Structure 1
């Protein structure tokens, strides 16, 4: 295994996930506020699941997203 290639690949994947996830969350929250489903001061439970095929990795990360 080439550690440098491995680490760069992980970082590239995590950057894609981070940027894409943030965009999706921002759009969903903006739409929910606009439609009156949530307030601009809501605290939203959040869950992210990481799966990596081939090594049977399945990890759940729980947290919250606070709007105000």
Structure 2
């Protein structure tokens, strides 16, 4: 295994996930604010599940998105 290639590919994947996830969250919050589903002062639970089928990895990460 080439460690440098491995690490670069992980970083590239995580960058895509991070940027795409942020965009999706921002758009969902904007829609919810516009239609009155949320007021804009919530603390919203959030979770992500990471799956790497080739090595049977499944990991869940939890946190909170604070709007105020």
TM range (shorter): over 0.9
- 2:5 aligned counterpart, secondary structure: helix
Q: Which structure is higher in helix share?
A: 2
RMSD over equivalenced CA pairs, Å:
0.4
TM-score by length of 2: 0.98
Partner Cα distance (2:53, 2:8) in 1: 19
5+ unaligned residues in a row in structure 2: which ranges? none
TM-score by length of 1: 0.98
Partner Cα distance (2:46, 2:39) in 1: 16
- 1:17 aligned counterpart, secondary structure: helix
> Match of 2:66?
66
Q: Which runs of 4+ in 1 moved over 2 A?
A: none
